[in-house]
């Protein structure tokens, strides 16, 4: 058994209306065996000879900084007394589910390059529908679709808007720019968009004409599954339109992420797929207080880590200067982000975690700030995130990103220190591979069950 103290309760009491979160069990969610704490065996990484993909990690770190670095602006914009009006069109949605229940499963491709870099799947745009594919990203809120005239290294399939009878382009500029110099420019447009048989007739998106600095990956576009106030396009996100249409079987979506490029990864919209998990789904209420009371992300409070059973509490470094924002006594707010590969916590939290891991030390500077290494041949224990007092373990094989270089005896840890403001932690695929994750819009909660 892991010994967990009740730091989380203090945190929850100060930020949420209910100090003891009520277990949420919508009737549509199958309940199986009761949850049990997982005990992974100690392992060493040499077993699978993984080598750290420094380039992928460097690139992702810069993107995460850009994605969450603008949080101060977003919160300030959103907390103005007159909230900005989201652009709506006369008939913004018209759900036409091919399945009676208003739910659908989108198979995802796991892009593996030493780390599970991203998970993408099919989406279609236009009338008649043209299929492309997108990275499904719970950490952002815009749909980004490259057009067939797209300049730069735009990844196909590109959307030929001239062949769609329902495409409408506005002259509102759309621009995304990351700190690594990559980005995409275009304008906001609307058209019919379908994912997993679920259609929004007039979905706003960034219609992209220019990509630069290596914006694209193996996927063509991006579908943000976050909240409206975080939308760069100032438009309602696809999933929110589905919810407001009233046509979904359940107002939630769920991710299953496989490892190492294996098949079986899936996004279930309006549903949970009980083939993909075991035990109960335990829900954790979202934490809008972390972002000035405005829900931007799927973020939940965490009291910190446990490492092999010892509870760690972290002292926050708060870089956010708006006095209206609650300053936490401990812990952090964890954004569950399907569009991020690794896990980012404050530099103070990372230091505290790695202090507990034998032989760990900050990685050489050329690896990048915030990374830590530990001896590959030393057995490492299990790191867990603690949510509402319950530890959620990360398989050491996911935590261990591989040897620093070919033949190196040092291995790189998959949790890194990055101060993103207001003590946010970004919890990506490395965690979600272990835990089937349900994003529940009615309950405003994220649920986890042990992934199969
Ligand atoms: C396109 O990709 C090539 C090769 O990866 C690279 O050299 C070039 O700079 C890229 N161009 C743009 C506009 O990103
Ligand atoms: C993209 O748009 C931004 C904002 O309008 C602009 O500053 C930038 O120069 C544009 N970049 C390219 C490559 O078109
Ligand atoms: C916050 O305020 C302090 C003191 O006024 C200042 O030193 C610091 O640079 C500010 N931080 C940010 C992120 O603006």
Say yes or no: 121 and 269 in one domain: yes
pLDDT of residue 164: 98
How remote is the CA of residue 245 from the centroid of ligand 3, in Å?
43
pLDDT at 359: 92
Q: Which of 59, 151, 153, 211 to mutate to test the pocket of ligand 1 (most atoms within 8 A of CB)?
A: 153
The CA 33 to ligand 1 mean position distance, Å, reads: 51
Q: What is the pLDDT of residue 48?
A: 59
Ligand nearest to the CA of 183: 2
Closest ligand 2 atom number to CA of residue 212: 13
Task: Give the distance (Å) from ligand 3 centre to CA of residue 350.
Answer: 22
Pairing of strands 332-336, 424-427: parallel
Asked if 420 contacts 317 with a C-beta cutoff of 8 angstroms, the reply is: no
Closest residue by Cα to atom 7, ligand 2, is 175
- 250 domain residue, yes or no: yes
Ligand nearest to the CA of 212: 1
Q: What is the pLDDT of residue 202?
A: 96
Residue 254 shares a structural domain with residue 290: no
pTM: 0.80
Q: What string of pLDDT tens digits covers the 452 residues of the chain? A: 333 332 222 222 222 233 333 333 332 233 222 222 233 333 343 345 789 998 888 888 888 988 887 544 444 444 332 333 333 333 333 334 334 468 999 999 998 888 888 899 999 999 999 999 999 999 999 999 999 999 998 999 999 999 999 999 999 999 998 877 889 999 999 999 999 999 999 999 999 999 998 888 899 999 999 999 999 999 999 999 999 998 899 999 999 999 988 999 999 999 999 999 999 999 999 999 988 899 999 999 998 888 875 544 443 333 333 333 333 335 899 999 999 999 999 898 899 889 888 899 999 988 888 999 999 987 778 888 989 888 899 998 899 999 999 999 999 999 999 988 778 999 999 999 999 999 999 999 999 999 99
Whether the Cβ atoms of residue 261 and residue 108 lie closer than 8 Å to each other: no
Is the distance from the beta carbon of residue 181 to the nearest atom of ligand 1 less than 6 Å?
no
Is there a contact between 255 and 437 (Cβ–Cβ < 8 Å)? Answer: yes
Q: Write the CATH number for 166.
A: 2.40.70.10
Q: Is 212 in the pocket of ligand 1 (CB under 6 A)?
A: yes
261 assigned to some structural domain: yes
pLDDT reported for residue 77: 42
Instruction: Please indicate whether residue 337 is annotated as part of the active site.
Output: yes
Q: Are residues 284 and 351 in the same domain?
A: yes
**Residue by residue, what is the 3-state secondary structure of 368-422?**
CCCCEEEECCCCECCEEEEECCEEEEECHHHHEEEECCCCCCEEEECEEECCCCC
Distance 212 CA to ligand 1 centre (A): 8
Give the position, in ligand 2's atom list, of the atom nearest the Cα of 185: 1
Work out the angle at residue 256's Cα, subtended by the Cα atoms of residues 432 and 38, and round it to the nearest 5 degrees: 55
Residues 284 and 253 in one domain: no
Closest approach atom of ligand 3 to CA 319: 13
Q: How many residues does the chain have?
A: 452
Q: Which of 116, 137, 419, 422 is catalytic?
A: 137
- Pair 306, 391 in one domain: yes
Q: Please identify, among 253, 275, 297, the residue that sits at the C-terminal boundary of a domain.
A: 275
CA–CA separation, 129 vs 163, rounded Å?
Answer: 10
Is 164 contained in some domain? yes
Mutate which of 185, 187, 206, 207 for ligand 2 pocket (most atoms within 8 A of beta carbon): 185
Domain limits at 304?
Answer: 278-451
Give the span between the Cα atoms of 37 and 214, in whole angstroms: 41
Domain boundary among 275, 294, 323: 275
Q: How far is the CA of 9 from the centre of ligand 1 (A)?
A: 50
Residues 164, 287 within the same domain: no
- Residues 296 and 245 occupy one common structural domain: no
In this structure, are 289 and 259 located in the same domain?
A: no
What gap in Å lies between CA 340 and CA 287, rounded to an integer?
A: 19
Atom of ligand 1 nearest to the CA of 151: 13
Residue 67: inside a domain: no
Whether residues 252 and 391 fall in one domain: no
Q: Is 422 labeled as catalytic in the residue annotation?
A: no
Q: What is the pLDDT of residue 156?
A: 96
297/422 same-domain check: yes
Structural domain contains residue 80:
no
* 29 part of a folded domain: no
Q: Which of 71, 72, 319 is the pocket-test mutation for ligand 3 (most atoms within 8 Å of CB)?
A: 319
| Domain identity same for 184 and 283 | no
Q: Which atom of ligand 3 is nearest to the CA of 321?
A: 1
pLDDT of 247 reads 87
The reply to whether 349 and 402 lie within a common domain is yes
For the chain, the domain total comes to 2
Please tell me the predicted confidence (pLDDT) of residue 101: 65
**Could you say which of 224, 242, 275 is where a domain stops?**
275
Order of strands, sheet of 266-269, starting from the edge strand that comes earlier in the sequence: 104-107, 266-269, 252-256, 435-440, 445-451, 277-285
Instruction: Kindly state whether residue 75 falls inside one of the protein's structural domains.
Output: no
Report if residue 445 sits inside a domain. Answer: yes
User: From the CA of 176, which ligand is nearest?
Assistant: 2
Q: Using a 6 Å CB cutoff, which residues line ligand 3?
A: 319, 321
């Amino acid at each position: 058994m892991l010994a967990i103290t009740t730091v989380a309760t203090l945190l929850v009491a100060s930020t949420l209306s209910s100090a003891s979160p009520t277990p949420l069990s919508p009737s549509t969610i199958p309940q199986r065996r009761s949850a049990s704490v997982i005990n992974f065996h100690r392992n060493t990484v040499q077993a699978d000879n993984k080598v750290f993909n420094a380039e992928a990690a460097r690139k992702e770190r810069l993107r995460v900084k850009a994605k969450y670095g603008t949080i101060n602006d977003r919160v300030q914009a959103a907390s103005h007394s007159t909230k900005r009006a989201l652009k709506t069109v006369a008939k913004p949605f018209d759900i036409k589910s091919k399945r009676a229940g208003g739910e659908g499963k989108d198979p995802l491709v796991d892009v593996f390059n030493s780390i599970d870099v991203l998970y993408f799947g099919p989406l279609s745009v236009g009338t008649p529908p043209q299929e492309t594919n997108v990275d499904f990203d719970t950490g952002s809120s815009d749909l980004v679709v490259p057009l067939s005239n797209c300049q730069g290294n735009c990844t196909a399939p590109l959307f030929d808007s001239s062949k769609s009878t329902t495409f409408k382009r506005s002259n509102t500029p759309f621009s995304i720019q990351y700190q690594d110099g990559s980005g995409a420019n275009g304008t906001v447009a609307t058209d019919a968009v379908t994912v997993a048989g679920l259609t929004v007739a007039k979905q706003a998106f960034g219609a992209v004409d220019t990509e630069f600095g290596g914006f694209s990956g193996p996927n063509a576009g991006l579908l943000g599954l976050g909240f409206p106030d975080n939308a760069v396009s100032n438009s309602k996100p696809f999933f929110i339109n589905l919810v407001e249409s009233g046509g979904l079987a359940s107002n939630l979506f769920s991710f299953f992420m496989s490892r190492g490029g294996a098949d079986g990864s899936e996004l279930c919209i309006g549903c949970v797929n009980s083939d993909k998990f075991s035990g109960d789904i335990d829900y954790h209420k979202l934490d809008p207080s972390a972002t000035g009371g405005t829900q931007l992300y799927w973020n939940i409070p965490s009291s910190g880590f446990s490492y092999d059973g010892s509870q760690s509490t972290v002292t926050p470094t708060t870089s956010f200067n708006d006095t209206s924002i609650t300053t936490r006594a401990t812990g952090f707010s964890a954004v569950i982000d399907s569009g991020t590969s690794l896990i980012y916590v404050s530099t103070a939290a990372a230091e505290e975690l790695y202090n507990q891991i034998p032989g760990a030390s900050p990685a050489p500077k050329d690896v990048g700030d915030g990374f830590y290494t530990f001896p590959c041949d030393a057995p490492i224990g299990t790191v867990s995130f603690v949510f509402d007092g319950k530890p959620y373990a990360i398989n050491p094989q996911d935590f261990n990103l591989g040897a620093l270089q070919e033949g190196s005896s040092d291995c790189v840890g998959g949790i890194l220190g990055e101060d993103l403001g207001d003590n946010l932690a970004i919890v990506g695929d490395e965690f979600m591979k272990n835990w089937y994750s349900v994003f529940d819009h009615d309950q405003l909660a994220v649920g986890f069950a042990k992934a199969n």
